[in-house]
Chains A and B, each alone.
Chain A
Amino acid sequence: MQDPDQDESLERQIDQWRSYLRRRQAIHSVDVAELEDHLREQIAALVDGGLAPDEAFLVAVKRMGELDALSREFAREHSERLWKQLVMPASESGEPPRARTEAIVAVCLAAAAALAIKLPALFGISLDEDLGFYARNLSFFVLPLLVGYFVWKRRADRATLRWPAAGFVGAALLANVFPFAPQGYTEALTALHLPIALWVVVGTTYAGGRWSDGAGRMDFIRFSGELFIYYVLIALGGGVLSAFSALIFQAIAVDIEPFLESWLLPCGAMGAVVIGSWLVEAKQSVIENMAPVLTRLFAPLFAAVLLTFLATLLWTGRGVDIERNVLIAFDLLLVLVLGLLLYSVSAREPQAPPGAFDVLQVVLVVGALLADAVALWAIAARISEFGFSPNRVAALGMNVILLVNLAWSALLYIRFLRGRGPFSDLERWQTDYLPVYAIWAAIVVIAFPPLFGYI
């Protein structure tokens, strides 16, 4: 008869040994299972031979060999495991079959999105003639399917879906009921702001029940950044595919450009959103996030450009030339700097002490604020001359929202650098601010068209 206490301590020891093995990248969980079977058999044989269980464990572990040497040997045989693979057949690596189901679901939803954008064409609404219709409704072809994907993936219950569904239906009504002037400003503004508002709605389903939690919103920010990068990569691949197919069909004197323009481009653009989302979800724990890497790379360069710009401005004493698009340009600058800030925040270890990169971030943010302040000053001085057009109000509103965010971020960051506050304050500020963008975008979509007479 074996002593149950000893059995328990043996199990604990085996658990510990297993967790050591699991940490080795080259040894997969199936291999751990195989080695564990070996270890248990060996222990049983040794106990039969008269050893106490813990002695048997020690001997068996010793015979198994040193972990470092073992994992080196596994790495030599399975060198591909040191390269983290994203698209892998799930059958043998011991992953659950759900990974394959997910791939099928994602591809089906992507195909549905690709078909959805061709649906209006059945009713005589063509891409060439009714560009406005497509611009206003772009979000509705793909985002509901993306929501469907997250609902499926998170196994969300129906009740939580009510608000997102209501948001989508309401937005679809507004976008199509308002009597927009053809190719007017307000139509363009709606087309631009609707996706922003709805993207945050997608975020609530992405986060599942964790939207009210700052960490859930931060995950959505990370997801958005990675999706953007994957989307750009897929778009690049799509460009190569189009160019290549155009070339080879040209060789046999067939012009496939109409097909590329009316099918490959719109269908691909829609499907890629779902496929990109699926890839980001699948890779989440497998591959390093790209957005923070790019941030590290470009934050110093942008900081250098901004500082040079400010220095040149001071040196030459030139005023900012108020051209038509200058406000938009400074909006984009703020968006960019905010993105750089956001993605470095998203990847930063909150407990780490302030470092050189943090100082650089502050320099970048303060530089952007100064540049924007100069531009705003120039614009404010002459805005009465221009009057308020919907474009200008929308751009100004966005500018103010970004300015408030960055100014407060700079303050929190400086406080952190001086050791007066935790880094998590900055993180919370950023995640709490997310709904503000959605609310502003919703205001532009809902209030601007009637306010400015649908011009």
Chain B
Amino acid sequence: MEINKDLIAASSTPIVLGILAEGDSYGYAIIKRVRELSGGHLEWTDGMLYPVLHRLERLGYVEARWEVAESGRRRKYYRITSRGRAQLAEERRQWQAVDETLRGLWSALSIAIRYGDVASTPVPQGV
């Protein structure tokens, strides 16, 4: 299953903020965590994460700092700020609203399918 680009773009902010709310992290680890969480369904192009991180940094949701990692390389770590937490809470409310709407719809549809209503409902033509 491939999730479409718009959906990935829209969900990137809450996902990244959510992962950073678990603890400070850096690009590669964030991508790894996304893969783990989504069971491999959310395939991000690795490089695209960085413009997202930079946007969140510009908006003041995350802070970046350079540290020397155990590998000896310089690595840029990100940390969520209080504004970022507020934004995450806001995103969460919005996504929950979307989720609830869809859930309601899915269950209504599955009931309809069970009673065979969908098959008899005329499908609009020529849209």
Is A34's CB under 8 angstroms from B51's CB?
no
Write the chain A residue with the least CB distance to B58. A77
Please pick, from B27, B51, B54, B55, the residue contacting A38 in the complex, using a CB distance under 8 A: B27
Instruction: Looking at the assembled complex, report how far the CB atom of B118 sits from the nearest CB atom of chain A, in whole angstroms.
Output: 40
Of B15-23, B71-79, B80-88, B119-127, which stretch is located at the interface?
Answer: B71-79
Q: A37-B74, A37-B75, A65-B45 are in contact. Are A74 and B51 (CB under 8 A)?
A: yes
Is B74's CB under 8 angstroms from A31's CB?
no
Q: State A37–B29 Cα separation when bound (angstroms).
A: 11
Q: State A44–B27 Cα separation when bound (angstroms).
A: 15
**Residue of B50, B54, B71, B74 with most partner-chain A CB within 10 A:** B50
Interface majority SS on A: helix, strand, loop or mixed?
A: helix
Instruction: Looking at the assembled complex, report how far the CB atom of B16 sits from the nearest CB atom of chain A, in whole angstroms.
Output: 14
Instruction: Looking at the assembled complex, report how far the CB atom of A57 sits from the nearest CB atom of chain B, in whole angstroms.
Output: 13
Q: A33 an interface residue at 8 Å Cβ cutoff?
A: yes
Q: Mark B41-63, 1 if CB is under 8 A from A, else 0.
A: 00001111011001100100000
Is A35's CB under 8 angstroms from B50's CB?
yes
Is B45's CB under 8 angstroms from A37's CB?
no
Write the chain A residue with the least CB distance to B28. A41
Is A34's CB under 8 angstroms from B45's CB?
no
Total chain B interface residues with beta-carbon distance under 8 A: 19
Instruction: Looking at the assembled complex, report how far the CB atom of B66 sits from the nearest CB atom of chain A, in whole angstroms.
Output: 8
Chain B hits for A63, CB < 8 A: 45-46
Chain B hits for A70, CB < 8 A: 45, 47-48
Instruction: Looking at the assembled complex, report how far the CB atom of A40 sits from the nearest CB atom of chain B, in whole angstroms.
Output: 7
Instruction: Looking at the assembled complex, report how far the CB atom of B71 sits from the nearest CB atom of chain A, in whole angstroms.
Output: 8
Q: A34-B27, A37-B26 are in contact. Are A73 and B74 (CB under 8 A)?
A: no
Is A74's CB under 8 angstroms from B50's CB?
yes
Q: State A68–B9 Cα separation when bound (angstroms).
A: 18
Please pick, from B55, B69, B71, B76, the residue contacting A77 in the complex, using a CB distance under 8 A: B55
Q: State A78–B57 Cα separation when bound (angstroms).
A: 12
Chain B hits for A33, CB < 8 A: 74, 76
Q: A51 an interface residue at 8 Å Cβ cutoff?
A: no
Chain A hits for B55, CB < 8 A: 77
Q: A74-B51, A77-B51 are in contact. Are A64 and B76 (CB under 8 A)?
A: no
Chain B hits for A74, CB < 8 A: 50-51, 54
Chain B hits for A78, CB < 8 A: 54
Q: A224 an interface residue at 8 Å Cβ cutoff?
A: no
Please pick, from B47, B73, B74, the residue contacting A35 in the complex, using a CB distance under 8 A: B47
Chain A hits for B50, CB < 8 A: 31, 34-35, 38, 74
Q: State A38–B75 Cα separation when bound (angstroms).
A: 9
Chain A hits for B27, CB < 8 A: 34-35, 37-38
Chain A hits for B48, CB < 8 A: 65, 69-70, 73
Q: A42 an interface residue at 8 Å Cβ cutoff?
A: yes
Within 8 A of B (CB), among A1-46: 30-31, 33-35, 37-38, 40-42, 44
Chain B hits for A31, CB < 8 A: 50, 54
Q: State A78–B53 Cα separation when bound (angstroms).
A: 12
Q: A64-B45, A74-B51, A78-B54 are in contact. List 11 more A-B contacts (CB 8 A).
A: A30-B76, A31-B54, A34-B50, A40-B73, A41-B28, A42-B46, A63-B46, A65-B47, A69-B48, A73-B47, A77-B51
Report 27 cross-chain contacts, Cβ distance below 8 Å, ordered by A residue: A30-B76, A31-B54, A33-B76, A34-B50, A34-B76, A35-B47, A37-B69, A37-B74, A37-B75, A38-B27, A38-B31, A38-B50, A40-B73, A42-B28, A42-B46, A60-B46, A64-B47, A65-B48, A69-B45, A69-B48, A73-B47, A73-B51, A74-B50, A74-B51, A74-B54, A76-B51, A77-B55
8 shortest A-B CB distances, which residue pairs?
A: A65-B45, A65-B47, A77-B51, A41-B28, A70-B47, A73-B51, A64-B47, A38-B28
Q: Chain A: residues with CB nearer than 8 A to chain B?
A: 30-31, 33-35, 37-38, 40-42, 44, 60, 63-65, 69-70, 73-74, 76-78
